[in-house]
Chains A and B, each alone.
Chain A
Amino acid sequence: MLGSERGVVEEWLSEFKSLPETHLSSYAGSLHLKKSLVPALYRVIQDPGNELLEPVCHQLFELYRSSEDRLRRFTMQFLPELVWVYLRVTASRDRQSNGCIEALLLGIYNLEIVDKDGNSKLLSFTIPSLSKPSIYHEPSSLGSMALTEGALCQHDLIRVVYSGLHPQRETFTAQNRFEVLCFLMLCYNSAVVYMPLSSYQSVCRMSSRLCVCGFPRQQQKLWREPCNRVLLDPEFMVQMLTAVYHAIYNGEWEMGREALEDILYRAQLELYSQPLLLGNAMKNSLPDSAPNEPQGRKVLQVEVTPTISRISISAITTASIRRHRWKREDADGMSAGEDSFNANDPDEGFSSGASNSSQPSGTRAGGGGPRAGSLSSGGSSIKKAIAARLSRDKERDRPEVAKQVDAAAEVKRQHQRKQSPPASIRLDAIQLSPIKKHLSFPSGPPLVRTGSTSSSKSFDCMAFSLNGGTREQEGGGGGSTEAGGRPAGGSHRHSTVSLQEGHMIRPDDPLLSPGAPLSKQSRSPSFNMQIISQV
């Protein structure tokens, strides 16, 4: 240790002792101006034999005990270094030299576990729930996605205590060591923004070294001081990761990434799931390259990102399946005219304002197209009955199941329509046509016959059944897609229906080109089956 550094530390020690209570605030404000003090203090802490260590620890504790936040944070910045020195000495034979660092750590811990009134602190947080409105959303605007079983289970906001009711500790034992250290790191992380860069470097250094010392990887490091392996606790590693994560994005890109790698290395060797989980997520979400300005805290970057719907409209997504359903419902709602009923249940739309409105631009509406209003002329009374029935069905069934049934009904109806003279088919008409509300499945025949034939409908129905088929394929291959829960017999039902009817003529090939790219999908087994049965 250089003489000048020693002088700086000694001056700092004596200055604070003679400081009157009233000047505390101005002292706190001027502390960061002493540029050489912090490096000098790091030197003292790193050297266990230094005779200044004890007064320094004592004074750091005095600062921490003061009511001034800035003074507390001044002490806090040394926490990573203190923890490192403490753990390294603990892992070695020589335990005695640790006394004052232990005392300082325990002192901070005992101060932090209680609030101002001396009660045990309870750190809790609320798990937000999407099923309750918040300043950023309304439950209805997220659609039924948000109303999953899990969301409903947690309908009541749950307040979780994540740390609290720690007992006062007078000594470190192997048993309470990481309980205390975890809590200290939690405190550090809750004030991490206020820490200077030197502290970030220290936390990265600490994490790297704790994780590799005594392991083969230490040989690849510049720092090769022989050292026993330090036992680590998974929770403590999670706290280290949190601090390192902050350092990565706030000016210590290189060191932070190295520390992240080392923590992951150790977590793998120890087979700790929690730090592995977090570390993997952090690593996977790192930006590809170092940010432009490595100096200072500019690493948090936000770019203007094009968000224009990049997913092509023809792709089958959860939303497109849902859209498809709206389309049918909306169309029906419009065609029903005077005796319209609002088929949209409120929880289905993604956007509360939009759910009743139009379809997304999957089909660009240019003209009216053949409105499928024929039902209203033939059997408005029947229609009402069906409407009631449908709405009941809807309440009961899961959407997918309902869809499946509907699709089957469509197929059936389609066949029957085909028996009447086929209308001439124009491509644009097909694209535009709204689809008739599906009718209930087995009881249908008399009703269905009232519907006038529209080949476009039948096409649309085909497209749908194809979607269904593809989704089935998905479900088989990828495990649990959303469609996983629906009865597997759905597509079979299609084909059985088709077989029974058996009069379907195969749609002309040009019909297949618009909408979803059918040619590829036609490989799906259920589709093939259907074609065969149709032929």
Chain B
Amino acid sequence: MTAKKSGSRLETEIERCRSEGQWDKIPELVRQLSAKLISNGLCLEKVPAASPTEREQEIITCYEKSGDIALLYLQEAEKVCVSGIQNRSPKPGPTSQDQELGYFLETGLQRAHVIHFKNGNLTQGVGRFREILRAVETRTTQNLRMTIARQLAEILLRGMCEQSYWSPVEDPPTVSPLDDPTRQGHVQSKKYSLSRRPRLFKTIYCQCCNENTEEALLLLLISESMANRDAVLSRIPEHNNDRIISLQSASVVYDLLTIALGRRGQYEMLSECLERAMKFAFEEFHLWYQLALSLMAAGKSARAVKVLKECIRLKPDDPTIPLLAVKLCIGPLHWLDEGECFAKMVIDMGEKAAEFRAKGHLAIGLVYSLKATDASLRSTQEEYQRKALGAFQRAQSLSPTDHLAAFYLALQLAVSRQIPEALGYVRQALQLQGDDVHSLHLLALLLSAQKHYQDGLNIIEMALSEYPENFNLLYTKVKLESMCRGSEEALLTCKHMLQIWKSFYNLTNPSDSGRGSSLLDRAVADRRQLNAMTLPDFSDPDTGSVHATSIAASRVEQALSEVASSLQSSAPKHGPLHPWLTLAQIWLHAAEVYIGMSKPAEASACTQEAANLFPTSHNVLFMRGQIAELRGNIDEAKRWYEEALSINPTHVKTMQRLGLILHQLQRYSLSEKVLRDAVQVNSTAHDVWNSLGEVLQAQGNAAAATECFLTALELEASSPILPFTIIPRAL
């Protein structure tokens, strides 16, 4: 009781000092008052009580009251001090003394919610947290605020969920699952009265929180900006401890930020936040690695690879890091040489890499396989294919239960036309992973290479029942159908594809669940896509009149605005394929079917649709050439083919058609040259060999012609309906 009495005496004294303007005395008095209240509380905690409920009530009141008093007077003291400076009063003010909060004030401010939590009273604990945080801050309380903000964010992320959340401006729910049910509802807060309460931040016209992640995020951003401010920049040994402290407090905040933003798929923003953490990150592996991963998740691949390089330097023994880098190099970046380096790092680790060794071999195999596809010289191609095959075999033997190893081995065998072996491995892959779409696709293509078109079609249809919206499968289906069921069926599939395309890109939500990115980014991205889209129209010499161009452009724009929102979200689902590319491809497939039916008008209309989207695509030009050929306009066809080749000089199909036309025009040597080039680019195209044979025959070179025909025959026996390389290769 004495303590209480002297407490109230202190209160009066503080009031007196306030009225007399003796500001320098107040902090000391506040400290005394709080100390009184707090020691009171501490004592009460120690003394066993007859009625624990009442006792607890008393304790909490002590702490909360002392906390409020402390906050209020700190605010006042600072206000005075500010005005003192502004008035140029001679007294510098007491601020230099209250830089440190002192043990008692701090306990007073923290002890109350700690007790709430200890008692399982989460609702009130959170309430108390919020009260402290909502009080207008003073310089003195900054450190405390940072800690409390972080703690509240932890509670929000770890102990709450969307359904149990209540906003800080609402009243808390009366019954909450957060509270320990056995001890509920006995402690009523705020029984004490204070003449004034600490000033709060204004709540009108300000952002408010509607869910726990949002509030946690706000608190964490505040903590982050404070933690950033305390980053110790000097690296001299004397400051080692300080640096460690500042790093620790910041890295806790960044980890929580990662958890909060990752939950909502905001990797873009997360990577920006983590970039701010870089001032702490010198030689700190965790921060570098997290930055790299966030960049990767945000799709900033090039930067991610650069940061991953630093991570490798800091932790050279971890095989995951170079593998992540290879993944990016093979996938979105297509940096094959860099990818090779990273993959070799993993292989060089040998036994240390343990389960990742197989992955390392798989990665290098993929790099070689992609290099083989890119290579323009036959010898290099074959060299890379050999290396790839070796790597895949090694990967498969190291990890026989990994379906990817078996699948890529099968794919590589298929590319080098070892069809029966490839079938064996693709079956193995399917045994390990029954509904892997690529394995199923490969199986269908292999069957088509053995000319079992019906079986291939059955497999494709089965795969489509699991992946109804996979366009790659549908393209193959169109080809197979026109082969064994007639063109009408194939046309129906094309129509179906158009429907899927429309529903798919219309239905997808504005911002996809996982990769939802900010509206701003999306708008920017859309604009960029629009630019890329309309640009070719202006430079295109073929569309003819201005009228047509503008129509095409406006069509694109209209379509874009219709599906604009879905663009970003849907792109990743289908790999690098752009939705418009998909649409153009559908039209081209339809055109091909019409050409097969000898209907040039329809084919031309389909091609025009594709041309509206990509007027300078070599595929479009090639198709136009084929239509012209169908109509008997050899010269026009030749012109189209030449244009297609000027855009893509290694398009084998065009080369083959051009060679044939030149043959018809009896320009044999030129035709031979074109066809020989085509064979150099792709030595497995049987129709090129065949055409070459014909040309050689016409030139009277019978022996060479026979050679060519034999090669063509042999290749044709193992040629799939679509090239095996349409199956994407990625880690």
Measured CB to CB, the residues of A under 8 A from B are 91, 93, 122, 125-130, 132-138, 141-143, 145-146, 148, 150, 153-154, 157-167, 173-175, 179, 182-183, 186, 189-194, 214-216, 228-229, 231, 234-235, 238, 242, 245-246, 248-250, 268-269, 271, 273-274, 276-278, 280-282, 284-285, 296-298, 300-312, 314-319, 321-322, 330, 334, 337, 340, 350-351, 353-354, 356-358, 360-361, 364-365, 470-471, 473-474, 477-483, 516-517, 520-521
For B236, the chain A residues whose CB sits under 8 A away are 470, 517, 520-521
Contacts A245-B259, A285-B255, A356-B86 known; A300 to B297 CB distance under 8 Å? no
Contacts A246-B161, A309-B99, A470-B234 known; A353 to B516 CB distance under 8 Å? no
Bitwise, B218-262 to A at CB < 8 A (1) or not (0) is: 110110011011111111111100110110000110111011001
Contacts A280-B293, A351-B138, A354-B138 known; A127 to B269 CB distance under 8 Å? yes
Q: Which residue of B lies closest to A308 (CB)?
A: B100
Could you name 30 residue pairs across A and B whose Cβ atoms are closer than 8 Å? Answer: A129-B207, A135-B209, A158-B519, A175-B467, A179-B513, A189-B162, A191-B161, A193-B163, A245-B157, A246-B159, A273-B324, A280-B258, A284-B255, A284-B286, A285-B256, A301-B117, A302-B114, A304-B111, A311-B232, A311-B245, A312-B242, A314-B238, A315-B234, A316-B234, A330-B85, A353-B82, A358-B95, A473-B235, A474-B282, A478-B283
B144 close to A477 (CB less than 8 A): no
A167 close to B225 (CB less than 8 A): no
For A246, the chain B residues whose CB sits under 8 A away are 158-159, 161
Cβ distance A74 to chain B, nearest Cβ, rounded Å: 14
Q: Is B466 engaged at the interface, CB distance under 8 Å to the other chain?
A: yes
Q: Is B267 engaged at the interface, CB distance under 8 Å to the other chain?
A: yes
Q: 5 new A-B pairs (CB below 8 Å) besides A173-B465, A298-B120, A354-B82?
A: A276-B320, A307-B143, A315-B242, A357-B95, A358-B85
Q: Which of A137, A142, A353 has the most CB of B within 10 A?
A: A137
Cβ distance A350 to chain B, nearest Cβ, rounded Å: 6
Q: Which of B102, B232, B283 has the most CB of A within 10 A?
A: B232
Contact of B209 among A128, A133, A159, A310 (CB under 8 A): A128
A153 close to B520 (CB less than 8 A): yes
Cβ distance A178 to chain B, nearest Cβ, rounded Å: 10
A318 close to B101 (CB less than 8 A): no
For A268, the chain B residues whose CB sits under 8 A away are 320, 356
Contact of B146 among A245, A307, A482 (CB under 8 A): A307
B207 close to A356 (CB less than 8 A): no
B235 close to A474 (CB less than 8 A): yes
Alpha-carbon gap, A360 to B96, bound state (A): 7
Q: Tally chain B residues at the interface, Cβ within 8 Å.
A: 156
Cβ distance A344 to chain B, nearest Cβ, rounded Å: 11
B111 close to A358 (CB less than 8 A): no
B163 close to A194 (CB less than 8 A): yes
A135 close to B520 (CB less than 8 A): no
Alpha-carbon gap, A278 to B468, bound state (A): 32
B143 close to A308 (CB less than 8 A): yes
A357 close to B93 (CB less than 8 A): yes
For A158, the chain B residues whose CB sits under 8 A away are 518-520
Cβ distance B557 to chain A, nearest Cβ, rounded Å: 23
A316 close to B139 (CB less than 8 A): no
Q: Which residue of A lies closest to B272 (CB)?
A: A150
The 10 closest A-B pairs by CB, nearest first: A478-B282, A165-B509, A281-B258, A128-B218, A190-B162, A174-B466, A285-B255, A273-B296, A354-B139, A249-B158
Contact of A318 among B162, B229, B264, B289 (CB under 8 A): B229
For B293, the chain A residues whose CB sits under 8 A away are 273-274, 276-277, 280
> Which positions 172-227 of chain B face chain A at CB distance < 8 Å?
177-178, 180, 200-203, 205-211, 213-214, 217-219, 221-222, 225-226
B286 close to A280 (CB less than 8 A): yes
Q: Which residue of B lies closest to A142 (CB)?
A: B225
B232 close to A477 (CB less than 8 A): no
B509 close to A161 (CB less than 8 A): yes
Q: Which residue of A lies closest to B299 (CB)?
A: A273
Alpha-carbon gap, A55 to B426, bound state (A): 40
A312 close to B239 (CB less than 8 A): yes
Contact of A127 among B106, B217, B222, B514 (CB under 8 A): B217
Alpha-carbon gap, A318 to B276, bound state (A): 12
Q: Which residue of B lies closest to A132 (CB)?
A: B207
The segment out of B405-413, B432-440, B475-483 that lies at the interface is B432-440
Q: Is B136 engaged at the interface, CB distance under 8 Å to the other chain?
A: yes
Contacts A125-B214, A298-B120, A481-B279 known; A310 to B245 CB distance under 8 Å? yes
A135 close to B203 (CB less than 8 A): yes
B214 close to A174 (CB less than 8 A): no
Contact of A365 among B92, B209, B217 (CB under 8 A): B92
A479 close to B163 (CB less than 8 A): no
Q: Is B40 engaged at the interface, CB distance under 8 Å to the other chain?
A: no
Contacts A160-B518, A309-B99 known; A134 to B731 CB distance under 8 Å? no
Alpha-carbon gap, A242 to B265, bound state (A): 12
Alpha-carbon gap, A132 to B136, bound state (A): 15
Alpha-carbon gap, A307 to B108, bound state (A): 13
B264 close to A143 (CB less than 8 A): no
Contact of A189 among B161, B229, B510 (CB under 8 A): B161
B158 close to A245 (CB less than 8 A): yes
A281 close to B117 (CB less than 8 A): no
A235 close to B514 (CB less than 8 A): yes
B229 close to A143 (CB less than 8 A): yes
Cβ distance B273 to chain A, nearest Cβ, rounded Å: 9
For A298, the chain B residues whose CB sits under 8 A away are 120
For B468, the chain A residues whose CB sits under 8 A away are 173, 175
> Which positions 64-87 of chain B face chain A at CB distance < 8 Å?
75, 78-79, 81-82, 84-86
Q: Which residue of B lies closest to A126 (CB)?
A: B214
For A307, the chain B residues whose CB sits under 8 A away are 101, 106, 143-144, 146-147
B234 close to A521 (CB less than 8 A): yes
Alpha-carbon gap, A26 to B117, bound state (A): 31
For A175, the chain B residues whose CB sits under 8 A away are 466-470
Contacts A128-B214, A302-B151, A307-B106 known; A358 to B180 CB distance under 8 Å? no
For B177, the chain A residues whose CB sits under 8 A away are 193-194
A125 close to B264 (CB less than 8 A): yes
Q: Is B355 engaged at the interface, CB distance under 8 Å to the other chain?
A: yes
Cβ distance A322 to chain B, nearest Cβ, rounded Å: 8
Alpha-carbon gap, A313 to B325, bound state (A): 41
Q: Which residue of A lies closest to B323 (CB)?
A: A271
Contact of B207 among A133, A145, A360 (CB under 8 A): A133
B218 close to A134 (CB less than 8 A): yes
Q: Is B164 engaged at the interface, CB distance under 8 Å to the other chain?
A: yes
Contact of B93 among A134, A301, A358, A361 (CB under 8 A): A358
B159 close to A300 (CB less than 8 A): yes
For A360, the chain B residues whose CB sits under 8 A away are 99, 139
Alpha-carbon gap, A276 to B324, bound state (A): 11
B516 close to A317 (CB less than 8 A): no
Bitwise, B121-151 to A at CB < 8 A (1) or not (0) is: 0100100000001101111001110110101
B233 close to A165 (CB less than 8 A): no
For A280, the chain B residues whose CB sits under 8 A away are 258, 286, 289-290, 293
A478 close to B279 (CB less than 8 A): yes
B279 close to A160 (CB less than 8 A): no
Alpha-carbon gap, A280 to B511, bound state (A): 26
B134 close to A136 (CB less than 8 A): yes
B233 close to A481 (CB less than 8 A): yes
Contacts A130-B221, A135-B203, A353-B136 known; A271 to B510 CB distance under 8 Å? no
Contact of A146 among B96, B110, B225, B466 (CB under 8 A): B225
For B269, the chain A residues whose CB sits under 8 A away are 127, 154
B259 close to A308 (CB less than 8 A): no
Q: Which residue of A lies closest to B235 (CB)?
A: A474
Q: Which residue of A lies closest to B96 (CB)?
A: A361
Contacts A158-B518, A165-B508, A193-B178 known; A235 to B113 CB distance under 8 Å? no
Alpha-carbon gap, A197 to B158, bound state (A): 15
Alpha-carbon gap, A360 to B158, bound state (A): 36
A133 close to B432 (CB less than 8 A): no
B255 close to A281 (CB less than 8 A): yes
